[in-house]
Structure 1
């Protein structure tokens, strides 16, 4: 194993993956949300940086090639599982997350079966857009958790009529409840929309990967 900077960044992603879920066990909210946001956003950035540096510095290695896709899958799978728990198994989150997780498991198994042949199947630009959509959707949904906590704290002890008056501008908004509420709504529906886009791209790219792999799956492919 070569401990160059690209590999160290990949190891960071691998370590950060379980941390996204574990912070909610050991930290109170919103500290857990902030910690999960920093871990996931940091890991998402290193996903691009380590590959760029490995190519630029010609520091690719067998260890990095092996661990990089594992870290990518781990960070997305654990983040999605955590979001499903935080959102209380909401249809709008669980349904697209199910297809994303299914695709990741299916493609990982297919790559393992194909072995070295998997390297012949080129990654498309659409697959890169899929990954980007997944990462951004998860970040936005974690941000929603931050906003929802502060909105909850800001409205603690208020009745519905008072909250409505503040949001409508009939009562002075001394705590910034208005922009926090708007941020909460925007991050919720924005994150949901991005997650469904990611799920659609996931299904499309998964089907495309299977189509490309079919010639290698025929019974006579070894002949």
Structure 2
């Protein structure tokens, strides 16, 4: 299998995860800025790899599989870091909602593909808006995670809560789109 540039960018995004973790815990002044910068670089490569794949018709099966995995890893790892650093009930519940929805929607998409109905659960505009809001919130939280004043931390926290609300809303939209297939028992394994 030959890897194309969009897939290399996706692999690079996965490689950036441990770099961000190291930056997050680094004991130097400005480590929060470094962690946020790595996260932003990863988010930009996410947009760029999709653009290149579509623009130059370099969509591959491996890239299509790997891209959402990289996205979910990026968000989940960042949320785990933030919850560990500020273990509040609000942040923990918000992170659990976001990660739980991502797992549920991924499983739903996999099942819908299995029964030949993948098109019913395509990424919608609401999902893209949710992702953009989530990325902005995570950047703000990364920037503020070790700040003494936490002035913007609560702004980031509020944006993340709003992203979690959109996460639930878009998750229900996917479930509603899939319900005609789920409700009739097609593809059931008997488990």
Task: Say whether the 8 Å CA contact 2:138–2:156 is kept in structure 1.
Answer: yes
What TM-score results when the alignment is normalised by the length of structure 2? 0.88
Q: Structure 1 residue runs of 4+, over 4 Å off?
A: none
Q: 1:29 to 1:215 in 2, by over 3 A?
A: farther
Report how many aligned residue pairs link the two structures. 185
What TM-score results when the alignment is normalised by the length of structure 1? 0.76
How far apart are residue 32 of structure 1 and its match? 3.8
What is the CA–CA distance in structure 2 between the aligned matches of 1:136 and 1:210, rounded to whole Å? Answer: 26
The answer to whether structure 1 residue 193 and structure 2 residue 158 are counterparts is yes
What is the CA–CA distance in structure 1 between the aligned matches of 2:22 and 2:111, rounded to whole Å? Answer: 32
What is the CA–CA distance in structure 1 between the aligned matches of 2:184 and 2:125, rounded to whole Å? Answer: 30
Segments of structure 2 that go 5 or more residues without pairing to the other structure are: none
How far apart are residue 31 of structure 1 and its match? 4.9
Q: 1:2 to 1:35 in 2, by over 3 A?
A: farther
Bigger drift between 199-208 and 11-20 goes to 11-20
> Aligned with 1:75: secondary structure?
helix
Query: How do residues 61-210 of structure 1 correspond to structure 2 at under 5 angstroms?
Result: 61-87=60-86, 89-115=87-113, 116-145=116-145, 148=147, 151=148, 181=149, 184-185=150-151, 187-210=152-175
What is the CA–CA distance in structure 1 between the aligned matches of 2:44 and 2:90, rounded to whole Å? Answer: 26
Q: 1:119 to 1:137 in 2, by over 3 A?
A: same
Segments of structure 1 that go 5 or more residues without pairing to the other structure are: 152-180
> Aligned with 1:3: secondary structure?
coil
> Aligned with 2:145: secondary structure?
helix
Q: Output one character per residue of 1:116-155: Cα deviation in whole Å (capped at 9) or x when no partner.
A: 5324423221111100011110000011125x1xx4xxxx
How far apart are residue 80 of structure 1 and its match? 0.4
Q: Output one character per residue of 1:133-183: Cα deviation in whole Å (capped at 9) or x when no partner.
A: 11110000011125x1xx4xxxxxxxxxxxxxxxxxxxxxxxxxxxxx5xx
Select the structure of larger CA radius of gyration: 1
What is the CA–CA distance in structure 2 between the aligned matches of 1:142 and 1:54, rounded to whole Å? Answer: 29
